[in-house]
């Protein structure tokens, strides 16, 4: 099986001028498209840079928040320890008061 290739017949100068004009116009169109493409690329680069900057700011904020959260957690643990110690102290005092009352060493005056 053979493929055929079309070969244009020899052109005269008169028909070559319109072809040259067609090529010139096509070239202009391609140059315009290239210019638009370059402009789109520049816009996309700017948008990418803006997005990258927003990401950087968000990551810094996340780091600060994580640091603050860690500080709050440490403070909460300290407060819980203090609270627990206070509860144990009060329980011990209450237990001691109950023992004293049961032993009869302390009498509670009548409120009448």
CA 75 – CA 81 distance, rounded (Å): 10
3-class SS of residue 12:
coil
Which pLDDT value is given to residue 104? 79
The per-residue pLDDT for 13 is: 56
What is the mean pLDDT of each successive set of 10 residues along the chain, which is 112 residues long? 56 67 94 97 98 98 97 97 98 94 75 60
Give the residue from 11, 19, 13 showing the smallest Cα distance to 27.
19
């Amino acid at each position: 099986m053979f493929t055929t290739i079309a070969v244009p017949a020899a052109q005269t100068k008169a028909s070559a001028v319109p072809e040259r004009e067609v090529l010139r116009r096509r070239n202009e169109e391609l140059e315009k498209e290239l210019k638009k493409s370059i402009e789109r690329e520049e816009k996309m680069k700017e948008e990418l840079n803006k997005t990258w900057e927003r990401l950087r700011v968000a990551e810094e904020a996340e780091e600060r928040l994580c640091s603050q959260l860690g500080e709050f957690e440490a403070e909460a643990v300290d407060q819980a320890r203090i609270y627990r110690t206070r509860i144990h102290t009060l329980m011990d005092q209450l237990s001691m008061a109950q023992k004293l009352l049961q032993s009869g060493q302390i009498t509670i005056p009548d409120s009448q």
